Structure 1
Amino acid sequence: MQVGENDSVIIVTHEPNWLLDWYWKETTGKNVSHLIQDYLNGRCKLRMAGDLHHFMRHSATPSDKPTFVEHLLVNGCGGAFLHPTHVFKNFERFSGTTYECKAAYPSYEESSGIALGNILKFRKKNWQFDIIGGFIYFILVFSMFPQCNLVHILNEETWSGRLQSFSSTIWSALLFIFEHSYVSSVGSLTLLMASYSFVPSKLTRKKRAIIGGLHVLAHLTAALVLMLLMELGIEICIRNHLLATSGYHPLYDWYRSMESEHFPDPTGLRTRLEQWTLGLYPACIKYLMSAFDVPEVMAVTRINICKNGMMSLSRSVLIMYYTSVFIYFWIFSTPVVSLIFGSYLYICINWFHIHFDEAFSSLRIANYKSFTRLHIKKDGDLEIFTLAVDKVTSIYSTCSRSHLFRSALH
């Protein structure tokens, strides 16, 4: 079959390379461009594509120059999630032709507003991020535990003085990370390289370094603030005798004293049970109760480290201490790391127009669905209809086959 001189052609491809090439500042689809420009030579009236999960239609503006494609249409609204439209707002040229946007769904304003969900809903939509986010924050401040010299903050008489001392302590901790620590410095440098690589390559290296560096600085500062707040909380509890500091098992010691006082054992049954179970009888109770003694473990170990240094403690005690710190710090830090990362995506998508895939896939928006239908009239004119629904239902009900058959008949 041969295309006639007066025939019109529709080209359908999987990617809208007119938008993506403009966005990524590259050139793809050379074979398709060769077909349209050199063979069809103005007979391609419409190019259609999906892949980007939104709807956009551009039409060529009147010009004296030859127009190779009259209309450009993207409809990928059947995708698993939504893509933004406002990122492509400034697109206007393709293959030497100027285009104007005739329709965008969702609209530019709606698309920009949807991005706000990265700040408000990122953690809810991506709760699995807590696992790695809390672990990264702990690595960033691992070398900072414990903080033994916090008395100067608590001894300040005014809130402005406390805030100033708090800020100077944060700055000192930041310098310590890069000058003396091992784990925290390696973690920070690794995060910096990962953050630099995460910034899209469409930007210059300088801009990628600035954006990636500011991103890491925000996380590192937040991790240090949370670390210092946690250490201050433990220090305040110790000073006000809200945490036991006599040993590692205060709850078990209290249990044994209550047991001896209210449940005497004149026959020595408990001693025989300990012998028969090879010590498992009291040991199991002791270490099960230690699960509720985590704050006390942190307080006692912290005091011992500050007095005698790390080398004075056994490896098992240090493992127990850092495990206890990790549990509390992970719970403390996960809301913050999600908030900062979500804010980063929001700023990038709305201010710099980057991370359009990551910023919207994280929201997992199932709404804004549409489909396109083409109708060729008897006289050869082409009509294009696109039907859309803003909100997809999440409530479904089952019905029998007979009910479906009756509904189809009506």
Structure 2
Amino acid sequence: MQVGENDSVIIVTHEPNWLLDWYWKETTGKNVSHLIQDYLNGRCKLRMAGDLHHFMRHSATPSDKPTFVEHLLVNGCGGAFLHPTHVFKNFERFSGTTYECKAAYPSYEESSGIALGNILKFRKKNWQFDIIGGFIYFILVFSMFPQCNLVHILNEETWSGRLQSFSSTIWSALLFIFEHSYVSSVGSLTLLMASYSFVPSKLTRKKRAIIGGLHVLAHLTAALVLMLLMELGIEICIRNHLLATSGYHPLYDWYRSMESEHFPDPTGLRTRLEQWTLGLYPACIKYLMSAFDVPEVMAVTRINICKNGMMSLSRSVLIMYYTSVFIYFWIFSTPVVSLIFGSYLYICINWFHIHFDEAFSSLRIANYKSFTRLHIKKDGDLEIFTLAVDKGPKGLEVGSQVGGRGKRASSAQPPPEIP
């Protein structure tokens, strides 16, 4: 079949390179452009694509210059999640032709408002991020545990003085990380490189470095603040004799005292049981109970490190200490890391118009669905209808009522045809 001189052509491609090329400042789809400009030569009235999960329609503005494509239409609203439209608000030129946006779904205002969900809902939608986020925060401040000189903060008489001492301690800890530490400095530099690489390459290297650096600085500052708050909490408990009052195993010591008092062993059965199990009988109970007394382990080990230094403790004790610190610090830090990362995505998508894929895929929005139907009339005119649903159904059960109340048909009825 040969395209006639007066025929009109619809070009359908998998992605809207007119938007993506403008966004990424690239030139792709050269074969399609060659077909449209050199062979069709103005006969392409409509170009359609999906891939971007929203709806946008642009029409060429009247001009004396030749127009290769009259209408540009994107409808990928059947995708797994939603893509923003406000990121592409400033698109207006393609192949030398000026275009005007006739429709956008969701609207630019709605799209910008949806991005706010990254601050409010990021952790709820992406709870798996807690696993790696809490671990990264612990690596950032690993070298800062324990903080032995916090008395000056607690001895301040005014809240302004405490805040000033707190801030100066944070600054000193930040300098210590890059000047003396090993684990925390390597973790910070690794995170900095990863953050720089995460920023889209459409920006200049300088802007990528600034955005990535500020992102890492926010996380590092938050991790240091949480570390210092946690250390201050332990210090206050120690000073008020709530922790570190009876060694590493106070719960086990209490258990043994209650056992000897209420369950005497005149036959020496417990001693023989300890010999038969090669010491496993009391050891298992001892260390199992210590797992339920993590704050005491942290406090006692912290005091020993501050008095005698890190080298005075065995490797097993240090492993137990850092494991205890990690458990509490991970719980403490996970809400903050999600909040900061979600805020980063919100700022980037609304201020810099970057991370449009990451910022909206993280929200997993199943609404704003639509489909496009084309109707060619007998006279050759083309009608295009796009039907949209703002909110999709949840918990949908397909079937028809048969045989009384509460029973569903085994096979679903086909939907009625749309005229």
Q: Shorter-chain TM-score category?
A: over 0.9
State how far apart, in whole Å, the 2-side matches of 1:382 and 1:219 are: 54
Give yes or no for contact 1:59–1:72 (8 Å, CA) kept in 2: yes
Deviations 1:322-363 (A, max 9, x none): 000000000000000000000000000000000000000000
Partner of residue 68, structure 1 = 68
Partner of residue 343, structure 1 = 343
Q: Could you tell me how far 1:295 is from its partner in structure 2?
A: 0.5
Number of equivalenced pairs: 390
Q: Could you tell me how far 1:245 is from its partner in structure 2?
A: 3.6
Partner of residue 38, structure 1 = 38
5+ long unaligned stretches in structure 2: 391-419
State how far apart, in whole Å, the 2-side matches of 1:209 and 1:226 are: 26
Q: Could you tell me how far 1:150 is from its partner in structure 2?
A: 0.1
State how far apart, in whole Å, the 2-side matches of 1:81 and 1:306 are: 52
SS in 1 for 2:359: helix
Q: Given the alignment of the two structures, is residue 6 of structure 1 paired with residue 21 of structure 2, yes or no?
A: no
Partner of residue 204, structure 2 = 204
State how far apart, in whole Å, the 2-side matches of 1:302 and 1:294 are: 12
SS in 1 for 2:354: coil
Deviations 1:97-156 (A, max 9, x none): 000000000000100000000000000000000000000000000000000000000000
Q: Could you tell me how far 1:257 is from its partner in structure 2?
A: 1.1
State how far apart, in whole Å, the 2-side matches of 1:146 and 1:245 are: 18
Structure 1 window deviating more from structure 2 (140-149 vs 276-285): it is: 276-285
Normalised by the length of structure 1, the TM-score is: 0.94
Structure 1 window deviating more from structure 2 (278-287 vs 141-150): it is: 278-287
Q: Could you tell me how far 1:244 is from its partner in structure 2?
A: 3.1
State how far apart, in whole Å, the 2-side matches of 1:120 and 1:159 are: 30
State how far apart, in whole Å, the 2-side matches of 1:167 and 1:77 are: 48
SS in 2 for 1:292: coil
Q: Could you tell me how far 1:77 is from its partner in structure 2?
A: 0.3
State how far apart, in whole Å, the 1-side matches of 2:288 and 2:143 are: 29
State how far apart, in whole Å, the 2-side matches of 1:275 and 1:35 are: 88
SS in 2 for 1:45: strand
Structure 1 window deviating more from structure 2 (337-346 vs 277-286): it is: 277-286
State how far apart, in whole Å, the 2-side matches of 1:184 and 1:272 are: 48
State how far apart, in whole Å, the 2-side matches of 1:7 and 1:259 are: 96
Q: Percent identical across equivalent pairs? A: 100
Q: Could you tell me how far 1:88 is from its partner in structure 2?
A: 0.3
Give yes or no for contact 1:244–1:250 (8 Å, CA) kept in 2: no
Partner of residue 168, structure 2 = 168
Partner of residue 252, structure 2 = 252
State how far apart, in whole Å, the 2-side matches of 1:33 and 1:339 are: 44
Deviations 1:66-114 (A, max 9, x none): 0000000000000000000000000000000000000000000100000
Structure 1 window deviating more from structure 2 (295-304 vs 236-245): it is: 236-245
Give yes or no for contact 1:195–1:213 (8 Å, CA) kept in 2: yes
State how far apart, in whole Å, the 1-side matches of 2:242 and 2:248 are: 15
SS in 2 for 1:201: coil
State how far apart, in whole Å, the 1-side matches of 2:313 and 2:127 are: 36
Deviations 1:155-207 (A, max 9, x none): 00000000000000000000000000000000000000000000000000000
SS in 2 for 1:52: coil
Give yes or no for contact 1:12–1:47 (8 Å, CA) kept in 2: yes
Partner of residue 277, structure 1 = 277
Give yes or no for contact 1:80–1:366 (8 Å, CA) kept in 2: yes
Structure 1 window deviating more from structure 2 (73-82 vs 257-266): it is: 257-266
State how far apart, in whole Å, the 1-side matches of 2:146 and 2:279 are: 34
State how far apart, in whole Å, the 1-side matches of 2:221 and 2:194 are: 17
Give yes or no for contact 1:245–1:299 (8 Å, CA) kept in 2: no
Q: Could you tell me how far 1:273 is from its partner in structure 2?
A: 1.6
SS in 2 for 1:323: helix
Give yes or no for contact 1:19–1:88 (8 Å, CA) kept in 2: yes
Structure 1 window deviating more from structure 2 (284-293 vs 258-267): it is: 258-267
Give yes or no for contact 1:122–1:363 (8 Å, CA) kept in 2: yes
Q: Greater helix share, 1 or 2?
A: 1
Give yes or no for contact 1:115–1:360 (8 Å, CA) kept in 2: yes
Partner of residue 180, structure 1 = 180
State how far apart, in whole Å, the 2-side matches of 1:261 and 1:35 are: 94
Alignment of 1:250-399 (within 5 A): 250-390=250-390
State how far apart, in whole Å, the 1-side matches of 2:2 and 2:263 are: 101
Q: Could you tell me how far 1:246 is from its partner in structure 2?
A: 2.8
Structure 1 window deviating more from structure 2 (285-294 vs 227-236): it is: 285-294
Deviations 1:370-407 (A, max 9, x none): 000100000000000000101xxxxxxxxxxxxxxxxx
State how far apart, in whole Å, the 1-side matches of 2:136 and 2:340 are: 13
Give yes or no for contact 1:115–1:349 (8 Å, CA) kept in 2: yes
Q: Could you tell me how far 1:293 is from its partner in structure 2?
A: 1.4
SS in 1 for 2:291: helix
SS in 2 for 1:102: strand
State how far apart, in whole Å, the 1-side matches of 2:372 and 2:31 are: 26
Q: Could you tell me how far 1:276 is from its partner in structure 2?
A: 2.1
Deviations 1:293-320 (A, max 9, x none): 1101100100000000000000000000
Partner of residue 127, structure 1 = 127
State how far apart, in whole Å, the 2-side matches of 1:66 and 1:277 are: 92
State how far apart, in whole Å, the 2-side matches of 1:59 and 1:35 are: 20
Partner of residue 402, structure 1 = none
State how far apart, in whole Å, the 2-side matches of 1:389 and 1:354 are: 27
Give yes or no for contact 1:82–1:365 (8 Å, CA) kept in 2: yes
Give yes or no for contact 1:77–1:368 (8 Å, CA) kept in 2: yes
SS in 1 for 2:292: helix
State how far apart, in whole Å, the 2-side matches of 1:14 and 1:60 are: 21
Q: Could you tell me how far 1:14 is from its partner in structure 2?
A: 0.3
Q: Could you tell me how far 1:282 is from its partner in structure 2?
A: 1.1
Q: Could you tell me how far 1:277 is from its partner in structure 2?
A: 2.0
Structure 1 window deviating more from structure 2 (262-271 vs 165-174): it is: 262-271
RMSD: 0.6
State how far apart, in whole Å, the 1-side matches of 2:253 and 2:131 are: 35
State how far apart, in whole Å, the 2-side matches of 1:26 and 1:355 are: 17
Normalised by the length of structure 2, the TM-score is: 0.92
State how far apart, in whole Å, the 2-side matches of 1:280 and 1:182 are: 37
Give yes or no for contact 1:86–1:108 (8 Å, CA) kept in 2: yes
